[in-house]
Structure 1
Amino acid sequence: MYKKIVLFILLIVSVEASSQCAMCKAVVEGGNESVAEGVNNGITYLMVFPYVLVGVLSYFIYRHKKISKN
């Protein structure tokens, strides 16, 4: 079960996100392609941190339960 969860998280993180909110889309429509790419990279950068935090928290919970079991 643990391996499936880790695999699922890795798949989510590795997928390149190209979505934009309404405000970002309005700004990008007036710019060139490099501006759009920069906005998408920024969104992806901000999206990664919650997954990393959940992963780290899950690891510490797993480790704590493993130590408590022994």
Structure 2
Amino acid sequence: MRTTFLLLVSCLFSLSMNAQCAMCRAALEGEGNVKKAEAVNDGIVYLMMIPYILVAVIGFVIYKMYQKKKA
């Protein structure tokens, strides 16, 4: 119950944050930097995917170990 309440509150109240580093901002503020902006966005997506893939692999290994132990 408490976890659900905290999750609901955190979803309803969000803070506006500026999370771009100074180097990224300086590289992308100039005009005509569409290719650089796309490259930075692709890099961010690539870096974001790695932890999710690792967690999925670890979860799969634990699941297989649990199923093997159960049998």
Q: Normalised by the size of structure 2, how large is the TM-score?
A: 0.63
Residue 34 of structure 1 corresponds to which residue in structure 2?
35
1:21 Cα offset (Å): 1.9
**Higher helix proportion (structure 1 or 2):** 1
Residue 21 of structure 1 corresponds to which residue in structure 2?
20
The percentage of aligned residue pairs carrying the same residue is 43
Q: Secondary structure at the match of 1:35?
A: helix
Give RMSD over aligned pairs.
1.6
What 5-or-longer segments of structure 2 have no aligned partner? 1-18
Match runs of 1:41-56 below 5 Å: 41-56=42-57
What 5-or-longer segments of structure 1 have no aligned partner? 1-19
1:39 Cα offset (Å): 0.5
User: Runs (4+) of structure 1 moved beyond 4 Å?
Assistant: none
Higher Rg of the two aligned structures: 2
